[in-house]
Each structure stands twice: as structure tokens, then as C-alpha cells.
């Protein structure tokens, strides 16, 4: 049963990724990215990470993708006739070759390593949110604060960049 | 039971798709969407290793990556709006002001 769900989520997310890159109209690209994000969140459910599933749906789909869609619809882009880069064909062949080599190596690797301190039973006992919260606010508190500062800087930077430059307009009129 | 290598294979395919999108597309917004695909591929990898190697640190890093993606989207879209206001184009080939 898990295998069926994994195959569905994996295949649909890969197909949606291909559509995101190849579709012509930018709004269609953003909508197929939405499909990709929802199916990746399904993969998170299969991996016992339901807190990340919620964060993926709320933050990625609900905030980031809606921001992209707002900007796309604000700018009302005309789709170019030639929407691929000129050198697309030169990139495609080596990329397929390299990707298949990497895939061959990945599927053969055993991936064993030292186990950590939270097995699946411990996660399932109190829930994933509890485990993530305990870990974040004990061992990774500094990273949490750094991400907070980073988001503050990003918000201020976005506001400063997107504001209409009044002084420049008047200077241009004077010239 | 799904092997860990299946998750890494899905993640690698998605990462290559995103990389192709960054290299091949000419619209700046689609390039940013492809970067989001690449971040999602990294997230799948991190969460899969976190599950199979029984450590919580992978999920935390995935959470921080989502936060950083939010900041990147905000700043990137602000830059797109500024460029679009000046040139009425979001083609990456025509943004060559910083090139020499």
C-alpha cells in the first residue's frame, strides 16, 4: 500500500516538474508547480513528517506560490514565441547522460550510516510536531534565531526594492 | 518498505529537472520557480535521510530551507518587479546591466 502511494506521489511530482519547466504560459507553470508541491508534501507524510507536510502546504503552497501567482498576474506577461534559451539543445544531451549516471549510482548505493537518537517509534509516540519542537528549541536554537534575522532582512529588502523611487522620477523629469 | 535509494532517486530527478529549468528557460520568473523545484528536491532528500537514519536534524534543516525559500521568493520577486518597471521585460537575456 505504501509502495502504491510512493509510486503515485513520485511519478506525479516528476511529471509536474517536467510540466513546470516546459509549459509555455507562466501561470500554467506556477499551477503545475502547485501540483508538484502538494505531491512532495505527500512524500513527507509517507516519511512520518506530518509537521513538515503542514508547513509545506501552508507556507509553500499558501504563501510562496500565491506570491508568485500574484506577481505573474500583476505583470500580465506576454508569452514569447521562443521561450526556451537558444542553447537548450546543447544542454539537454549532457544533462540526460549525467542524470542517468547519477541515478544508476544512487539506486545501487546501500546508504548505511550511524543511526541518530529518534527512531520512528519515538516520533510516533508524541507526534512529529513534538519531536521537531523539542529538537529545534534545544539543540538548534541558534539556527532558529538566525533564520528569524534572515527573514527580517528579507522583508526589509523586499520592501526597499519594490518601493517606487520618487526622487529618481523627478530627476528624470528635470533632465 | 520503500528503500532509501528510491527517495534519493526521485530527489535527483527533480533536482535535474529544476537545474534544466534554470539553464534553459528565458523567463526570469520560471527560473525562480525552477529554483523552488530544486529546493524541494533537497527537502525530499533531507526528510528521507532523517527518517531512515532516525535523526530529527534533517527535518529541522528542511524547515529552515522552507523559511529561506520564502525569503528568496520575496526578494527575487521584488527584483523582478523593479526590473519589469524599468524595461517591460522579464527575459534573462536582456538583463545584462551588471555584465562586463
When scoring B48, B59, B64, B66 by the number of chain A Cβ atoms within 10 A, the one with the most, hence best to mutate, is B59
- Does residue A86 have a pLDDT over 90? no
- Where does a domain end: A49, A79, A109? A79
Rounded average pLDDT over A113-136: 83
Taking CA A11 as the corner, what is the angle to CA A44 and CA B45, rounded to the nearest 5 degrees?
A: 40
pLDDT at A103: 83
Asked if B47 and A14 come within 8 Å (Cβ–Cβ), the reply is no
Burial (0-12, 13-18, 19+ Cβ within 10 Å), B1: exposed
- Is the residue at A170 inside a domain? yes
- Does residue B70 have a pLDDT over 60? yes
Q: For B63, which residue in chain A has the nearest alpha carbon?
A: A52
Q: What are the residue ranges of helices labelled H in chain A? A: 2-22, 26-46, 50-55, 65-75, 88-108, 120-126, 128-136, 141-162, 166-174
Give dist(CA B90, CA B84) in Å, integer: 6
- Does residue A42 have a pLDDT over 90? yes
Count of structural domains within chain A: 2
Rounded average pLDDT over A69-95: 75
Number of residues written out for chain B: 100
When scoring A3, A40, A66 by the number of chain B Cβ atoms within 10 A, the one with the most, hence best to mutate, is A40
Is the Cα torsion angle A62, A64, A65, A67 positive or negative in sign?
A: positive
Q: Which domain holds residue A169?
A: 140-175
- Does residue A175 have a pLDDT over 70? no
**Where residue A53 falls among pLDDT bands split at 50, 70, 90?**
very high
pLDDT at A167: 63
Tell me how close the Cα of A137 comes to any Cα of chain B, in angstroms: 11
Asked if A80 and B91 come within 8 Å (Cβ–Cβ), the reply is yes
pLDDT at B34: 94
Picking from B9, B62, B86, B96, the residue whose alpha carbon sits closest to that of residue A14 is B9
Tell me if chain B has a CB within 8 Å of the CB of A54: no
Picking from B61, B5, B13, the residue whose alpha carbon sits closest to that of residue B38 is B13
Tell me how close the Cα of A23 comes to any Cα of chain B, in angstroms: 10
**Where residue B39 falls among pLDDT bands split at 50, 70, 90?**
very high
* pLDDT, tens digit (0-9, with 9 covering 90-100), for A14-39: 999 999 998 888 899 999 999 999 99
Q: Which CATH architecture has domain B4-94?
A: Orthogonal Bundle (1.10)
pTM of the model: 0.86
- Where does a domain end: A58, A79, A100? A79
Tell me how close the Cα of B6 comes to any Cα of chain A, in angstroms: 7
- Does residue A108 have a pLDDT over 90? no
Rounded average pLDDT over B16-37: 89
Q: How far from chain centre, in Å, is Cα A142?
A: 24
Tell me if chain B has a CB within 8 Å of the CB of A53: no
- Where does a domain end: A37, A53, A79? A79
- Is the residue at A26 inside a domain? yes
Please count the CA atoms within 13 angstroms of the CA of A164 that sit on its side-chain side.
Answer: 3
Give the C-alpha distances (Å, rounded to integers) separating B66 from A64, A151, A154, B33: 10, 11, 14, 14
Average pLDDT in chain A: 85
Amino acid at each position: 500500500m505504501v509502495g502504491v502511494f510512493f509510486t503515485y506521489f513520485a511519478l506525479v511530482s516528476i511529471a509536474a516538474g517536467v510540466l513546470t519547466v516546459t509549459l509555455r504560459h507562466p501561470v500554467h507553470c506556477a499551477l503545475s508547480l502547485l501540483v508538484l508541491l502538494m505531491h512532495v508534501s505527500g512524500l513527507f507524510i509517507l516519511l512520518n513528517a506530518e509537521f513538515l507536510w503542514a508547513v509545506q502546504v501552508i507556507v509553500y503552497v499558501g504563501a510562496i506560490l500565491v506570491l508568485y501567482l500574484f506577481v505573474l498576474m500583476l505583470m500580465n506577461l506576454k508569452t514569447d514565441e521562443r521561450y526556451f534559451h537558444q542553447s537548450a539543445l546543447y544542454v539537454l544531451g549532457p544533462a540526460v547522460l549525467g542524470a542517468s549516471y547519477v541515478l544508476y549510482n544512487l539506486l545501487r548505493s546501500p546508504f548505511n550510516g550511524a543511526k541518530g537518537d529518534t527512531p520512528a517509534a519515538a516520533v510516533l509516540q508524541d507526534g512529529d510536531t513534538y519531536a521537531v519542537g523539542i529538537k529545534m528549541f534545544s539543540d538548534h536554537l541558534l539556527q532558529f534565531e538566525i533564520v528569524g534575522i534572515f527573514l527580517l532582512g528579507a522583508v526589509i529588502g523586499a520592501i526597499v526594492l519594490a518601493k517606487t523611487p520618487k526622487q529618481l522620477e523627478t530627476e528624470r523629469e528635470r533632465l | 518498505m520503500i528503500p532509501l535509494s528510491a527517495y534519493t532517486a526521485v530527489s535527483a530527478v527533480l533536482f535535474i529537472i529544476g537545474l534544466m529549468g534554470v539553464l534553459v528557460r528565458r523567463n526570469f520568473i520560471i527560473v525562480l520557480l525552477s529554483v523552488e523545484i530544486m529546493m524541494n528536491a533537497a527537502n525530499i532528500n533531507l526528510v528521507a535521510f532523517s527518517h531512515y537514519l532516525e535523526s530529527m536534524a534533517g527535518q529541522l534543516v528542511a524547515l529552515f530551507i522552507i523559511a529561506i525559500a520564502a525569503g528568496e521568493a520575496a526578494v527575487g520577486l521584488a527584483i523582478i518587479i523593479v526590473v519589469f518597471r524599468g524595461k517591460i521585460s522579464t527575459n534573462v537575456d536582456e538583463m545584462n546591466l551588471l555584465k562586463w
